[in-house]
A and B are shown apart, each in its own frame.
Chain A
């Protein structure tokens, strides 16, 4: 956080005394209703995911054949599934899985994407060409179709699905970082450290990386929901989480033939995905608007 603030200061030349870019942005964020709604949803999700079994009324894997497809009731707030498992407990267990999925997908996509973006944007030349043409190849496919193809090749499984989504995601970060770097590397503060004789790794890591971090973090906050949704989609078509993992997408896939007689079975996992993705999008949207440099310059 510290380096982030400092980097932003350097990029703007001189910050307003006492009110850094971060402070201003956060203050602006506080005035956005969307940010509050999104923030609350995300916080609740985090709390539920962390508490996990402590708040779940039952073991999400406990099979009770006699309690099959019970409607929502005080004993089972969300009802039960086709093997008599408590749906509320399964949806709660699914929260942890989904947050982990979002985090891991973005971690993989960002580490690959940002690294290659820095290399392409700073070195330029043939390396830039090679990297950018590779991203073009990846971007030529619709993201989900590419993820399906990769997941099908790797074989069904939650980790393979995450890798597949991440692999279809990294080129966006590469493009973002490279574009940002192209303008940054001509900035005076960079030229200054170059003239002082700083080595390339130092310039990249100490001076350029912190400057693209804001952009990348904002993009990631928006992408988080999509990453969860994409992985759930893969699970829905059977390429992701395998039974008995209480992953939301696979729960809906198993529930879809019960849509008519047991509406609660597909509905609650579906609502869980809906609320989660909505929460992360509202928050990501607000963060983006609050930190957008163009908004800042227009003030």
Chain B
């Protein structure tokens, strides 16, 4: 007993000392941040041929057919798709394929490949690579594979520079899918063959190695230092005559405030944090530029349409009237939020107009709708889950929670690590009643976002339908739209489908994000495309 108590005393004294030191530190912190942090003026700067990126996401794998998170920022420098997007537009332009054509029934697509392209391992690009990549994607069946699985019937290689893809059903948006952010990034068939272990299609090797045609080679990945280094590929088909950087270093730093300090001190050239408050603070500082571009990333709160009490459309409508849209825009995004009047953002041709979305913050209307519902007096509790560490989700949840209290509805918030949450939210039985979440289209067609967010085949993690919404009328309209090619008629059908979704209040549509990236002001050529998630074109970037 004595020994236990003595230990207790020593550790207690030591603890008190630590506390005192901590107190002093807090006191000093209160005296002014200047004591702790050097301001940007003292920035050391990085050599102009090296670009340092503060990367927010840890690397799970570099496998081009698997990566579906923010690591695509890196893999898109190593690998390239067959077709690309021009600048910040949805226009499809040649990349590894120079031209493409379809049979009149849009069931067979023929692509001509660019001659003289070699992979990092020396293999020349040929139609075999297209075949291997497509088959590999479908076989591994992860991430973006869902867009091709069941659609692609086969890939033929009539000659080394011609690939012919046969589809099982007509698809007018097939080339748009080839231009998507991930999935169909062409991998060297030699690497897949030589490094395969069993039937893993070289997944083990490609987890930490690269074998693409992209401008940059994966030079090293240091797990201990959490750093990825890309170096110029001398044999790149695009050449190196213009302004480019020689090396790109991704330093993986998930903590937003650390990333902020890095760019302030010049230890990073570009940071990828998304916290609107941090970006606003950075925008005010000299030597730092913030690039602002519209996105197609929609921010909404999914409502579980298959479980009581949200199964009742009146209650979902009441919740849509109880959300303080303007307050949220100010408190969460500091006013930098574009409107969202339905599943599609305003920069999609098929978007709805403000007149189509009746919901605005109106508690009286919300109370009235609630009184007409199956629970006229409220008195129930809704579960809401949050992706841990994202302040925008937390704040949206707290704003909704505070207002719903006035309707006598309790919201029980639970913050979970994203893997745990996705596992739970993936199935209708375990999913929360409410889930604040973001989504963006995987390819340039209105159907991409609508069916992934509210389609009946996209429930949970099969797509991104956390509302577990299913409506036969909507499904009919979407199917109809995919079978015709007349764009005005398609847009009409997409709008009708969206009006039903909005009228049935499948989600609380909060807004469309504005992409804001902070970088040192000597960084040039930063180019962002709303269809390419959070990535930017590494090849175009240069420093002065």
Q: What would be 8 A-B contacts, judged by CB atoms less than 8 Å apart? A: A83-B331, A175-B1, A238-B415, A242-B413, A259-B29, A261-B281, A267-B30, A274-B26
- Given the known interface contacts A63-B327, A274-B22, A274-B26, the answer about A260 and B394 at a Cβ–Cβ threshold of 8 Å is no
Given known A244-B402, A257-B275, contact A270–B15 (CB-CB < 8 A): no
Closest 7 CB pairs of A and B: A179-B1, A65-B331, A65-B327, A65-B330, A63-B402, A243-B413, A257-B257
A52 at the interface (CB under 8 A from B): no
Say which residue of A238, A254, A257, A288 sits within 8 Å of B256 (CB atoms).
Answer: A257
**Residue numbers in B under 8 Å from A156 (CB-CB):** 414-416
In the bound complex, do residue A259 and residue B12 qualify as a contact, i.e. CB atoms below 8 Å apart? Answer: no
Residues of chain A whose beta carbon lies under 8 Å from any beta carbon of chain B: 61-63, 65-66, 68-69, 82-84, 155-157, 172, 175-176, 179-180, 219, 222, 226, 238, 242-244, 254, 256-261, 263-264, 267, 270-271, 274, 277-278, 281, 285, 288
A243–B257 alpha-carbon span in the complex (Å):
21
A263 touches which one: B30, B327, B330, B398 (CB < 8 A)?
B30
Contact B328 A260 (CB under 8 A): no
Whether B415 lies near A243 (C-beta < 8 A) is: yes
- Contact partners of B401 in chain A: CB under 8 A: 243-244
Q: Report the minimum CB–CB distance from B412 to chain A (whole Å).
A: 8
Q: Which size class do B's interface residues fall under? A: 35 or more
Give the distance in Å from the alpha carbon of A254 to the alpha carbon of B256 in the complex.
12
B401 to chain A, nearest CB (A): 6
Query: Is A281 within 8 A of B415, CB to CB?
Result: no
Partner among B257, B330, B391 whose Cβ is within 8 Å of the Cβ of A66: B330
Q: Determine whether B8 belongs to the interface, using a CB cutoff of 8 Å to chain A.
A: yes
A258 to B276, CA, bound (A): 11
B363–chain A nearest beta-carbon distance, Å: 14
Q: Complex formed: what's the CA distance from A69 to B276 in Å?
A: 13
Residues from 282 to 332 in B contacting A, C-beta threshold 8 Å: 324, 326-328, 330-331
Query: A40 CA to B255 CA in the complex, in Å?
Result: 39
CB <8 Å contact, A61 and B1: no
Residue from B19, B30, B395 in contact with A277 in the complex, judged by beta carbons closer than 8 Å: B19
Contacts of B405 in A (CB 8 A): 61
8 new A-B contacts, CB < 8 A, other than A242-B412, A274-B23, A288-B9, are A63-B399, A83-B331, A243-B394, A244-B401, A257-B275, A260-B261, A271-B23, A285-B12
User: How many contacting A-B pairs (Cβ < 8 A)?
Assistant: 114
- B380 CB–A CB distance under 8 Å: no
* A254-B391, A260-B281 given; A267·B29 CB < 8 A: yes
Judged by DSSP, the binding face of A is helix
Q: Which of B9-56 contact A (CB under 8 A)?
A: 9, 12, 15-16, 19, 22-23, 26, 29-30, 32-33, 37
How close is B206's CB to chain A, nearest CB, in angstroms? Answer: 32
Docked Cα-Cα span, A285 to B13, in Å, equals 9
Partner of B257, one of A179, A256, A271: A256
- A274 / chain B contacts, CB cutoff of 8 Å: 19, 22-23, 26
Question: For the complex, is B164 an interface residue (Cβ under 8 Å from A)?
Answer: no
In the complex, what residues of B have CB within 8 A of residue A157's CB? 414
Tell yes or no: B277 within 8 A of A by CB: yes
In the complex, the chain A residue whose C-beta lies closest to that of B417 is A238
- B260 near A244 with CB under 8 A, answer no
| Docked complex Cα distance between A84 and B328 (Å) | 11
Q: Which residues of B contact A69 (CB under 8 A)?
A: 277
* Chain A residues, Cβ within 8 Å of B261: 260
Q: Which residue of A lies closest to B37 (CB)?
A: A260
- Please determine whether A179 and B37 come into contact, CB atoms closer than 8 angstroms: no
A75 to B22, CA, bound (A): 29
With CB as the reference atom, state the residue of chain A lying closest to B328: A65
Q: Is the CB of A270 within 8 A of B26?
A: yes
Neighbour of A155 across the interface among B277, B331, B414, CB < 8 A: B414
Determine whether B355 belongs to the interface, using a CB cutoff of 8 Å to chain A.
Answer: no
Please determine whether A222 and B12 come into contact, CB atoms closer than 8 angstroms.
yes
In the complex, which residue of chain B has the Cβ closest to the Cβ of A181? B1
Q: How far is the CA of A274 from the CA of B397 in the complex (A)?
A: 29
Contact of B1 among A176, A261, A270 (CB under 8 A): A176
In the assembled complex, the CB of B399 is this many whole angstroms from the nearest CB of chain A, namely: 6
Q: Report B258 CB to chain A, min CB distance, Å.
A: 10
**Chain A proximity mask over B373-415: 1 for CB below 8 Å, otherwise 0:** 0000000000000101101001101110110010000001111
Assess whether B278 is interfacial by the CB under 8 Å rule: yes
Is B4 located at the chain interface by the 8 A CB criterion?
yes
Contact of B26 among A62, A84, A179, A267 (CB under 8 A): A267
Partner of B277, one of A84, A257, A281: A257
* B415 contacts A82, C-beta separation under 8 Å: no
Knowing A243-B398, A257-B275, A257-B277, say if A281 contacts B15 (CB, 8 Å).
Answer: yes
